[in-house]
Amino acid sequence: MWLASAISVSSRLWLGGVVRIQRDRRLIRTLLEGVRCCGTFQSLLLCTDGLSSYPKQALKVFSEPVHTGKVGRPRLLLPEGLMIAQAVKRYARRRVKEVLRRVVVGRQEAVEARLSPRRVASRRSLTPPTSSGFKPPSARVLVRWYAGLAQRLARRLRWRRACGL
């Protein structure tokens, strides 16, 4: 079972989630359509893992038709502010050997500006210092919480289908 979720990093707003048995293009497309329905955007940086379906479906979902008055299918153009970046992890003996970062759509400089160290530093300043007794949750706790969330969403999805909603 797969849970795909979208989060706005700047406001920590949960934009949506989709639960499916398989991790395929339908899962990703449904999630991205929900993100698009959240409203207009000036600039959107979509950061994904190495699965090739993410950029392909993002290009399909966020493309806008340009009607020229000619016969036939209109040309599809991407909005100016759309940027898509991927982080692909390479493993060796069950350990991350390297992380390749590549820009699929947009300019490298624009993506780096959105991920500037100044922004990261401002996010770090929001976390309490470790000397105050704050202990971040372990990976096991986070995985257990995420699995519980996936089960609750799956249960709700089954209930909605049974009710015909």
Residue appearing with tokens 């049974």:
162
What integer pLDDT is reported at residue 71 of this predicted model?
Answer: 92
Least confident range from 49-58, 68-77, 91-100, 142-151: namely 142-151
pLDDT single digits (tens) 99-149:
888 898 888 888 888 877 555 444 444 444 444 455 666 777 777 777 788
Q: Report domain extents, the chain.
A: 2-119
